[in-house]
Structure formats: C-alpha cells, structure tokens
Structure 1
Amino acid sequence: MLAILGITFPIFAAIAIGFGLARTGFLTPPQTGLLSKFVINVALPPLIFNAVASRPIAEVFSLPFMVTMFLGGLATLAVSFLWFSRTGPMRRAVALMGSVVPNSAFVGFPLMTILFPGDAGVILSMNFLIENVVFIPLLLVAIEMARGAEGSGGVKLRRVFLGVLRRPMIIGLILGVVFSTLGLSLPEPLHRLTTMFANSASALALVVIGASLAGLATTGNRAMGAQIAAMKLIVHPLMVALVAWALVALGLGLDADVRAAAIISAAVPSFAIYTVLVSGTRHEGLASLALLIGTVTSFVTLNVLLAVLL
C-alpha cells in the first residue's frame, strides 16, 4: 500500500497545492485560466509532438490499446445513456460527456509518467486522439442535438469538427505523425526548445487542475453529479477492462502493461474543460459538481485500482 501511495501521493499533493494556492488568493481565477491555456496550448503540444516524432510510426499507435479505449468508451456511453434515460435530453447529454472523457492531459499524463515513464507521451497521444477525434465531437453533437430537441438550436457538425482540428495538441499530433512517417527530426536547438516546454507540463497541469477545482460552483443536483462521477471512475474502467479481457480471449495480444495503461487511463476523473464545453446548457453546475466529486473521490478509486493491477 505504501508503494501505491508513493505513486498517487505526488499527483494528488500537487492538486491539493493548486487548490490551496487558489483558496488563499495566491492564484486568482484569471491567472489559473492563463496557466491552463499555457499547459494546453504551449506545453502539451510539443510533448505530444516529441513523443510521436521520435518513434517509428509503427510504434506510435497501438491498435489493441486504441480499440480497447474506443470500444470501452462506447460501452460506457451505452450504460450511461440507459442509466440517465429518465432525465431530460440536455441533462443526459451533459451526463454522457462527464461519464466517458477522462482528464488525460492534466491527471492521466502525470500519472503515466510515474507508471510508464518511457511510454507516457505515446499513451497521452493515443488517448488524446480517441478523445478529441471520436468522443468529444460525438458528445458535442449530442449536446447540439439536445439543444435542437429543446428548440434552442441545431446540429452544427462542421463547427464541431473544425474546432477539433484547430486545437494545438491535435496540430502537434499531426505534425508528429508527419515527422515520424517521413523519418524527419528537428534541428537540435529546436528539439531542446520543445523538450524544455514539454518538461513543464506535468507539475503545472496538476497545480492548474487543483486551482480550477477551487473555483467550481457547488450548486446543482448533487445526487446526479455523484452518479456521473461513479460512471467515470467505476463504470468506464470496468467497461475498458471487460473489452481488454475479451480481446485477450480472442488472441489479439494485449500484454499486461497495455491492459493496465488502458484501464488506468479510463479510471482518471472527467476532463478539465468539461464545465467549459457544457456552457450554455444551463447545467454547468451539474458538470462542476460531477468534476469536483470525481476528482476528489478518484484518490480512493485510483489507489484501489492500482493495488489490484500492480
């Protein structure tokens, strides 16, 4: 148990430090927002680029890992859709988004740098590809459809997908794939520069998520927020584990580390911009509660999961 706490303690201690800095006024909400933008737009794109560009393309993407995350995510969406079927279309769409998209950038990556230091960047790249190309656009479309069902808008697919393609981390991933495929490499000075920014990502991301939690609204449907958190922390990794087990049974060769990385990736709390992406739905408070409950509770659920897997 001490060994497990040695893995998770630095992660949650850094989150707690960020929370304390925000609550004492050392970090104000505008400053936290700027730091978040720095992590997302400046630190993580070169990290993803370096992780992808520095490897042969055959080693960049693990098809079994990505299939596991994709099918596990779809299974989670199905369970979540059925569970929240009695609520309204917009609240259900908000719940679906919180149930299946993990905080791979701010929590998952720092955790992977401890568990799988040599592959953390590639794991982030694969998770980010699945989340940003498949699940986030799909769930944004679900929110737009819910708006249409409520008479407040329609589906704007082009806007959703163009928004994804403009994200710096997607651009970094695409450039990394190009460099990997063509066997190119950056000049050494540029490589040192991108590495310097990439190295700033992990600790800063954790402080930012802690500071962001301090500013979340705590009004809303607490029971439903707890259910969304349970979907994310329990049902999502369970679905991924079942898919991984099924693939192994079919002889598709998921080794122990790949299975563990997939299940742990699914077990981290909901992504940091969850509350931003559901703005305008009138259920931002619900998303804030789900994110807050999930992030705090994940200290327990992740420790239990790591004790089982490792």
Structure 2
Amino acid sequence: MQGVLQGFGVIGAVIAVGFVLAHTGVLDQASQLMLARLVFFVATPCLLFTLLLKADLHRVFSAGLVVALASVVCAGGIYLVLARLVFRRDGADTVVGVLCSSYVNAGNLGLPIAVYVLGSGAAIAPILLMQLLVLTPLSFAFLDTLTSGRRPSIMRVLSQPARNPVTVGCFLGVALALTGWDPPSIVIDPVTMIGGIAVPAALLAYGVSLRLGPRPLSGGSAGELATVALLKVAVQPLAAWAIARLAFGMSGKDLLAAVIVASLPTAQNIFVYATRYGRAEVLARDAIFVTTVSSVPVLLAISAFLT
C-alpha cells in the first residue's frame, strides 16, 4: 500500500508545481503547448527508445500480455460502441476517448507501484510494450488519418507510424534490442538525458492546464466522463481479473500483478496526444484527473484483498 501512495504522491507533487508556476505567471498557455510539443516530438521518442532498448522482449509473449490486451479491448471496445451510439463523437475524438478508457499509466506511475507493491517492475513490461508497440502506433495511424483532411489510402495508413516520432522511437528501440547491440555511452547518454524530460514535462504541462484551462470537471459531458472513469477503474480491472483467473488459472502474485496493472489510471501522455491533435482535450484532461483520484482507493482495496 505504501507503494501506491508513494507513486501517486510523486506525480501529484510535480503536477502541483506546474499549477503553481501557471498561477504565478511563470508559465502560460503558450508554455503548456511548448511543453506538450517538446514531450511529443523529442522527449517521449527518446524515453521510449531507451526503455525498449533495455527491455526483455521475451516478456511480451506471456499470459500477462494476453490478459493486458484483452482488458484493454474490453474497456476500449465498450467506449467505442457508446461513443458512436450515445455520445455521438466523431472518429478522432473517439480514438482519444478509447485511449482515456483503456491506456494505463504504466510508466511513471505503474513502475513505482509495481516495485513497491509487487516487489519488481517486471509485471509492467507486458502492458508497457503492448501499448508502445501496438496501441500507440495504431492510435496515431488513425489520428493522423482522421485529422489530415485527406482521403485515407492503404499506403498512407501503413506509412503513418514511420512519420510519427513516438512510434519511430518505439520501433528503433525494439530493432536495436533484437540485434543485442549495446550503444556506447557517447551515443546513448544524450538520448537518455533528453528522455528524462518526458515525464516531468508532461506532468508540468498537465498542471498548467488545470490552472489555465477550463476548471476540472467542467466544459465537457459529465455522463461521458463518468463512463470513461468507470470503464478505466472498474471494468478494465474486473475484466483482467476474470480473464487471468478463469482463462489462465492465475493466482497469488501473478493474479495480483495482472489486476494491479489493469487498475492503473489513464496515462498523462494521453493529454499530450490530445493536445497534439487538438481533439477531446477536455475529456483527456478530466479523465486523467478523475481516474487518478479514484484509482487510489481501488488500488489499495485490490492490494489488500488479493494479497
């Protein structure tokens, strides 16, 4: 339980710094946009490159990956149906909403929680790599196509990942990991240093948006936001528990890891993506806020019950 509180405490502190900097006039909305662009185009590709370069890719092909993927499909699929039939969202907004409903904060929150609650960060690897190598490239392909204003072609859709800096960073990291090459310090150290900007800059930008943008829980559909939060902090972990327990017979720490990972709140970088494409920004911001707050008691309860 201490790991859950510590992980949330670190994130909350950095967001609060961004809020204070905006309140005192040190940062403004132009600064928020600049931070978001820096994170998207430079820092995040470098961070993902270094993470995947050092990752154990064999952990991708595990029962944990299947559970993670199935829980994402379950939560995101429900939102997809509701977005089209009930909320009447267009294509690009729907993609952001799907990410809000299913894309977990596996990096800056999942890793510390896994270390303190599960004793190792290895449990995060399957969903982290699945999100980076499958969910992120597919989402960007759809967003690039839907916001370009041009009729999509097969070649354009297939080539979108190669034109997106985040997915390029992912694929380069995996490619080098497969070769087993260990880049020299003079090559990898600058990339690692730049990648270290990604998480704090994204959190600062989010803090600025809380102060200068529309007030949290205002300016959007309360029903849609409640649906997204319910899918993220309740439906996704329940789906993970059912699949892990019934389909794979998981128990003990393996079952706890699968459910804890699925219970993580919406990742902050979804707000960066929404800002980059100018779609569903209020929904992304509020979903991060609500799921982060509501996931604290959920994670504490899961830790106590399954332990």
TM-score (norm. length: structure 2): 0.74
- Which residue of structure 2 aligns with residue 190 of structure 1? 187
Q: CA RMSD in A?
A: 3.9
- What is the CA–CA distance in structure 1 between the aligned matches of 2:44 and 2:123, rounded to whole Å? 12
Query: Percentage identity across aligned positions?
Result: 25
Please tell me the residue identity of whatever aligns with 1:131. L
- Which residue of structure 2 aligns with residue 99 of structure 1? 101
Count of residues in correspondence between the two structures: 296
Q: CA deviation at 1:288?
A: 4.7
Q: CA deviation at 1:7?
A: 3.3
- What is the CA–CA distance in structure 2 between the aligned matches of 1:167 and 1:258, rounded to whole Å? 35
Closer, same or farther: CA 2–34 of 1 in aligned 2, 3 Å:
same
- What is the CA–CA distance in structure 2 between the aligned matches of 1:248 and 1:258, rounded to whole Å? 10
- Which residue of structure 1 aligns with residue 58 of structure 2? 58
Correspondence 1:100-179 to 2 at 5 A:
100-104=102-106, 107-108=109-110, 119=122, 122=125, 124-134=128-138, 136=139, 140=143, 144=146, 159-179=156-176
- What is the CA–CA distance in structure 2 between the aligned matches of 1:130 and 1:29, rounded to whole Å? 32
Q: CA deviation at 1:284?
A: 5.3
Q: CA deviation at 1:228?
A: 1.8
Please tell me the residue identity of whatever aligns with 1:167. N
- Which residue of structure 2 aligns with residue 77 of structure 1? 76
Q: Structure 1, residues 142-186: CA drift from partner, whole Å, max 9, x if none? A: x95xx9xxxx98666655553333232322222222222222121
Q: CA deviation at 1:76?
A: 1.6
TM-score (norm. length: structure 1): 0.74
Q: CA deviation at 1:189?
A: 1.6
More moved, 109-118 vs 92-101: 109-118
Please tell me the residue identity of whatever aligns with 2:67. T
- What is the CA–CA distance in structure 1 between the aligned matches of 2:102 and 2:164, rounded to whole Å? 20
Please tell me the residue identity of whatever aligns with 2:64. F
- What is the CA–CA distance in structure 2 between the aligned matches of 1:284 and 1:3, rounded to whole Å? 30
- What is the CA–CA distance in structure 2 between the aligned matches of 1:301 and 1:191, rounded to whole Å? 38
Please tell me the residue identity of whatever aligns with 2:182. S
3-state SS of paired residue (1:26)? coil
Q: Structure 1, residues 98-117: CA drift from partner, whole Å, max 9, x if none? A: 32233445654665676677
Q: CA deviation at 1:230?
A: 1.9
- Which residue of structure 2 aligns with residue 34 of structure 1? 34
- Which residue of structure 2 aligns with residue 10 of structure 1? 10
Closer, same or farther: CA 16–305 of 1 in aligned 2, 3 Å:
farther
Is 1:246 aligned to residue 219 of structure 2? no
- What is the CA–CA distance in structure 2 between the aligned matches of 1:56 and 1:285, rounded to whole Å? 36
3-state SS of paired residue (1:75)? helix
- What is the CA–CA distance in structure 1 between the aligned matches of 2:208 and 2:115, rounded to whole Å? 21
- What is the CA–CA distance in structure 2 between the aligned matches of 1:254 and 1:40, rounded to whole Å? 38
3-state SS of paired residue (1:272)? helix
> Please, which runs of 5 or more residues in structure 1 have no aligned partner?
none
Q: Contact 1:11–1:111 (CA<8 Å) still a contact in 2? A: no
> Please, which runs of 5 or more residues in structure 2 have no aligned partner?
none
Q: CA deviation at 1:128?
A: 1.6
Q: Contact 1:22–1:28 (CA<8 Å) still a contact in 2? A: yes
Closer, same or farther: CA 297–213 of 1 in aligned 2, 3 Å:
farther
Please tell me the residue identity of whatever aligns with 1:78. G
Closer, same or farther: CA 257–55 of 1 in aligned 2, 3 Å:
same
Q: Contact 2:52–2:173 (CA<8 Å) still a contact in 1? A: yes
Closer, same or farther: CA 23–112 of 1 in aligned 2, 3 Å:
farther
Closer, same or farther: CA 214–269 of 1 in aligned 2, 3 Å:
farther
Closer, same or farther: CA 127–223 of 1 in aligned 2, 3 Å:
same
3-state SS of paired residue (2:220)? coil
